[in-house]
Structures are given as C-alpha cells and as structure tokens.
Amino acid sequence: MANSAQARKRVRQNNVRRQHQASQRSMIRTYLKKVDAAIEAKDYDAATVAYNKAVPVIDRMADKGIIHKNKAARHKSRYNTAVKALKA
C-alpha cells in the first residue's frame, strides 16, 4: 500500500496510463482483425485498404512503446506478404 503522497500519486498516474494503453492496444487489435478478415475473405481490394489504414496505427503504437518495434515490423511484414499473395 502506498504510504507517501508521492507513492499515491504514482499509483494514480499508473492507473490512468494503464487504462489509456489498454484502449490503444484494443484499437490496434481491431485494425489487425480487419486486415485478417479481408485476407480470409480473399478480397484483395479490401485487404489493401485495411492494410494501408493499419500501417500508420501500428507504427504510431510502436513509437509510443505500446508494442515493441520488432512486433510492429513483424505484423507489417506478414500482412504485406499475405496481401500481395492475394493479388497473384
């Protein structure tokens, strides 16, 4: 239990930050699910649009530290490969 005023403030700040980061993680998952759904439907146009919308969000979350930069790169690479495979 936090006993000092400083420790109580840290607890409050951490709770706010945790909730904000949770909503950002949820947002990025939603974008990734949209790309997944378009790929599963084998719809190249929809997959391209969804991928192009997801990339800046993925990059922004990696910059903020919500996800690791390598995880962001991995997602972008795998989705890009999958979208390109739909065109062939």
Spatial CB neighbours of 69, under 8 Å, sequence gap ≥ 6: 62
Q: Which of 18, 16, 37 is nearest to 83 (CA)?
A: 37
Domains observed in the chain? 25-87 (1.20.58)
How far is residue 57's CA from residue 36's CA, in Å, rounded to a whole number?
15
pLDDT(2) > 90: no
Q: Which of 49, 71, 48 is nearest to 61 (CA)?
A: 71
What does the pLDDT look like over 28-80, one tens digit per residue? 999 999 999 999 999 999 999 999 999 999 999 999 999 999 999 999 999 99
